[in-house]
Amino acid sequence: MRWSTTSRGAHLPFHDALPQWAMNTEGDLCVTSVHRMGAGVEQSSVFHLQGDRVDPAVLKAREDLLGTTSATSLVYAALDGWRRQMVEQGKQLLDDLLDLVAEVRTAIRAIPGLSVMGAAEFPGVYEFDPLKIVVDVSGAGISGYQAADRLRARQRVTVGLSDHRRVVAGCTVADSARTGEILVRALTAVASAGLPRPSTVDLPDPAELELETAMLPRDAFFGPAEQVPVERAAGRVAAEMVTPYPPGAPALVPGEVITRPVLDYLRSGLAAGMQIPDPADPTLDTVRVVARAG
């Protein structure tokens, strides 16, 4: 089965200059979060299904295990209204947006200390979505965490993602020359704000993020557990999820064997401004692990 989670790709089917959508690449099933790059309200995610390899009745039954029986009409109305708008006007709206984003990218590149990542910075990438403006702020001597906090607190601009050196602004058909100017002006102010030099994040090698699974996640999560000091957590089996957000990709999953590089990454990231919403101890002074027998 070909499966895709195009959570930020609701706009992709409506313009040929954008990357291909999963359903146009012979995907059997994908999930699209319309509240991200579309105009849906929060929680507006939908399944797309084609072909005969996934039984729609089985898919519906499994979705019913997690879905609410009291769905809000606002979600459905927003989904249907946006779908109709894009079918009727999507090509022109995206034409205008692509022109706007090209201008915004050029303006941001002119800000001292900032660089905008594009297709040239990702050699070997098959397709690139220009509507995601990835801005590297490290040349200004600040972190993406600092930039995101400053943008929100002083400029009233919220970005979609930040990490130790980048922020990401997602542009949609709701944007205009005015919002583009606001973004450029806000980034200019942040780059010249004279913020203190950020803490260093101990980034592990990508292979070090692929942890050994010692137990089934449900057994680790629901079984006996204890909080142990972080200094004694390496080598133990995680009993909780620990997820830097955004983007929301777990660094630790219940059942995985905890390693020192991952702990160093999470602790140093937290000190630098990383958001980690799900551990039992939000300070990560302790970690929830599977209790040892006896």
**CATH code for the domain in which residue 227 is found:** 3.90.100.10
Q: Are residues 41 and 94 in the same domain?
A: no
Same domain for 39 and 106? no
Beta-carbon count within 10 A of 140 CB: 22
* 100, 171 Cβ separation under 8 angstroms: yes
Q: Are residues 104 and 179 in the same domain?
A: yes
Q: 169 in a domain, yes or no?
A: yes
Alpha carbons 210 and 251: distance in angstroms, whole number: 9
What is the Cα–Cα distance from 206 to 153, expressed in whole angstroms? Answer: 33
**Same structural domain for residues 99 and 187?**
yes
Instruction: Answer yes or no: do 72 and 124 share one domain.
Output: no
Q: Look at residues 130, 121, 123 and name the one whose alpha carbon lies nearest to residue 12.
A: 130
Among 107, 74, 88, 90, CA closest to 16 = 90
Task: Mark whether 169 and 99 lie in a shared domain.
Answer: yes
Peptide bond into 247 cis (omega under 30): yes
- Confidence at residue 127, expressed as pLDDT on a 0 to 100 scale: 86
pLDDT above 90 (res 22): no
Both 186 and 119 in one domain: the answer is yes
Rounded CA separation 87/78 (Å)? 14
The tokens of 122 are what? 């990702």
DSSP 175: -
Domains in the chain, number: 3
| Residue 102, burial from CB neighbour count under 10 angstroms (0-12, 13-18, 19+) | exposed
Choosing from 77, 103, 119, the residue where a domain stops is: 77
Q: Around Cβ 252, how many Cβ atoms within 10 Å?
A: 27
- Pair 210, 166 in one domain: no
Digit-coded pLDDT (tens) for 69-115: 888 899 999 999 999 999 999 999 999 999 999 999 999 999 999 99
Are residues 115 and 173 located together in one domain of the fold?
yes
| pLDDT, mean over the chain | 92
Amino acid found at 292: R
Q: Cα(163)–Cα(170) distance, rounded to whole angstroms?
A: 15
Contact between 59 and 66 under an 8 Å Cβ cutoff? The reply is: no
**Is 0.85 topped by the overall pTM?**
yes
Taking alpha carbons only, the member of 41, 173, 165 closest to residue 99 is 173
28, 55, 77 - which closes a domain: 77
- Is pLDDT of 24 > 90? no
* pLDDT at 26 (0 to 100): 84
Which backbone phi and psi does 166 adopt, to 5 degrees?
A: -135, 155
Domain CATH code at residue 170? 3.90.1150.150
- Mean pLDDT for 160-175 is 93
Higher pLDDT, 213 or 120: 213
Read off the tokens for 199: 């803490």
The 3-state secondary structure of 253-291 reads: CCCEECCHHHHHHHHHHHHHCCCCCCCCCCCCCEEEEEC
In a domain, 198, yes or no: no
Q: Is a pLDDT exceeding 70 seen at residue 260?
A: yes
Is 182 a member of any domain? yes
The domain of 114 spans 89-191
CB atoms within 10 A of CB 146: 24
* pLDDT, greater one: 21 or 285: 285
Q: Is residue 196 part of a domain?
A: no
Domain membership of residue 32 (yes or no) is yes
Quick check: helix, strand or coil at residue 167?
strand
For tokens 């089985």, name the residue. Answer: 58
Question: What is the per-residue pLDDT for 70?
Answer: 86
